[in-house]
Structure 1
């Protein structure tokens, strides 16, 4: 599969939890906080792929993991359930949602830091029944190729944070799928695995009904790096103190360098100001882009961002 920066994006909007779970969390030292509660909202969006015609997942439930509970079992009461779905209720073809959001639900949580989102999927049926998690290729759109998702049906696809839930406000978080690393072909077979290593969380300043995106690829050939934080701020007649979008990316070694793509979803810019991207990774100088405009429904590509060791 050739390299590309296209990404399947899932923006997560969340609101409403079980009272016992909230009480448990408000007393624990991880995600809970007595300072108040915030609202997370859930929706899903996507950017087109060069290779895939459809990419369908069947979501059973969504869980959020407070800091300190990253290794907790799925039935641990410290893990609040964002939503549960019946079979066929949330069968989502993410490839149909380019710069469009499909709402999935909402959840109120204690303010604090959360480290994972877990997507638990329904298993594909055995035998000759049609799969519920599958992809089709643009070169062969009529053949459903089952996705192998063992962790998705057991402990859930573990999507790494962190993300902050601030009290008294709506907190919007985007789940961003990169098909180059999230969907992996198995050798010379016609089988594909769905892995969480290619899925990222992006924290946003607000819920967006209309938006564009900023994309790029962070890399280094001189020194290994494990993760970086990408933040987007407005610059010009508006100068943000708090990022309008931020997220953590994780490097993989491919094509002779340590690299990771990123994407951030933001409203269209206006005359007088644009967006700057900042990339911060331990051991490297802070990267700051030029201020660039963003158009609704389009991706602004910053190209290759090469980290410079300090």
Structure 2
């Protein structure tokens, strides 16, 4: 983490202590009808960006979906506002936003309130494209920004207790290109997770990590948690909810790797593979998947995403990429997807993994477009090195 990031973390920690001193500490207030809510921020990895920066003003919670003026809203102010690069918050890194004392109960609405940019300036929310290092591009926040980015949740605050929650801000899915003029929108994909020491750790080969590998835990092809490895190839997926997962590693120019049936128990950091063993997929040919999503009647902004998936011979469905389409044109282009056989291993707690090529899955993909509650899929079999797969989708 760079110096600026460490300063931001220190600022957040100081803020948390100040709030606690003002009566925000759990269990020590003597108010049997109240408990403490503490909120932190984390991120899944972004793609194609060197920075994804937002400025946080406040976190608000309510027991119901109430109007902004309702007196039942409880606030965790972030003062001064905290400017944070979401890409610093991967590999299990959490940034504390603060805590406050709230009446006991179940809170079903959470809002993350961001500061708005000043006019057209990229002074509070911006991105830096990997293709244009050092150039800040303003990130346009939603029109309803004053009320905050909305998250449906279920946070049970017990009297004299501490409820710890993490806001998972998926930067990769939240940044959307709008047209071809260089404008980018923030269409936030947020969810809440319990703050627990539960997850999966492991190592990739240095070559795979350096290539920009993404590591994810998936269930039924849905990504539940994702990260990037550090410079030494180490990765940590945490916090995650207990359950059984498929661990998936993708990197441009390398075959996909999958570890099946990784069982994660509450309060446990599971090793994906023994210390000293690294996931080291072979080089692979790649293909491009591109096309357009069209919606009738034509909306002002197209809110859709396109995923490329693969089904392993053992039955697991895995997602290689899932990104939003251009909000104006509906176009998408997923590049660098491995077409050679994925390598697959069965998880063995405490034992070495034995990877083998899944030749039955080589070159076989499903492309899925999703908008609102509707989705459409198309199968593409026998995709080879350097192929460009054209796939359009028309809704309704």
Give me the TM-score of the superposition, normalised by structure 1: 0.56
| Contact 1:120-1:152 within 8 A present in 2 as well | no
In the TM superposition, 1:230-245 aligns within 5 A as: none
| Contact 1:17-1:82 within 8 A present in 2 as well | no
Residue 263 of structure 1 and its aligned partner are, at CA, apart by 2.4
Q: CA 1:192 to 1:146, structure 2 compared with 1: closer, same or farther past 3 Å?
A: same
Partner of 1:112: 105
Is 2:45 the partner of 1:78?
Answer: no
Please point out which of 44, 61, 75 is paired with 2:41: 44
Q: CA 1:119 to 1:17, structure 2 compared with 1: closer, same or farther past 3 Å?
A: farther
Q: CA 1:117 to 1:157, structure 2 compared with 1: closer, same or farther past 3 Å?
A: same
Q: CA 1:218 to 1:72, structure 2 compared with 1: closer, same or farther past 3 Å?
A: farther
- Rg larger in structure: 2
2: CA distance between counterparts of 1:267 and 1:160?
A: 18
Is 2:115 the partner of 1:122?
Answer: yes
Q: How many residues matched? A: 211
Deviations 1:95-119 (A, max 9, x none): 1232222222111222221112111
| Contact 2:35-2:158 within 8 A present in 1 as well | yes
| Contact 1:17-1:80 within 8 A present in 2 as well | no
Partner of 1:230: none
2: CA distance between counterparts of 1:167 and 1:154?
A: 31
Partner of 1:199: 190
Partner of 1:223: none
Partner of 1:60: 57
Please point out which of 75, 87, 97 is paired with 1:95: 87
Please point out which of 150, 170, 181 is paired with 1:178: 170
Partner of 2:263: 291
Q: CA 1:267 to 1:218, structure 2 compared with 1: closer, same or farther past 3 Å?
A: closer
Partner of 1:262: 224
1: CA distance between counterparts of 2:84 and 2:102?
A: 25
1: CA distance between counterparts of 2:193 and 2:239?
A: 14
| Contact 2:53-2:126 within 8 A present in 1 as well | yes
Residue 50 of structure 1 and its aligned partner are, at CA, apart by 2.9
| Contact 1:18-1:80 within 8 A present in 2 as well | no
Partner of 1:286: none
Q: CA 1:266 to 1:54, structure 2 compared with 1: closer, same or farther past 3 Å?
A: closer
Structure 1 unpaired stretches of 5+: 1-12, 20-33, 220-259, 269-273, 279-288, 306-310
Deviations 1:182-226 (A, max 9, x none): 222213332221123x1111124x4x599859722545xxxxxxx
1: CA distance between counterparts of 2:47 and 2:156?
A: 33
Please point out which of 299, 318, 325 is paired with 1:304: 318
Structure 2 unpaired stretches of 5+: 1-14, 24-30, 202-214, 227-236, 246-260, 273-278, 280-315, 320-396
Deviations 1:156-177 (A, max 9, x none): 1111212222333321111112
Q: CA 1:267 to 1:161, structure 2 compared with 1: closer, same or farther past 3 Å?
A: closer
Higher relative contact order (CA 8 A, sep 6+): 1
Partner of 2:154: 162
Give me the TM-score of the superposition, normalised by structure 2: 0.45
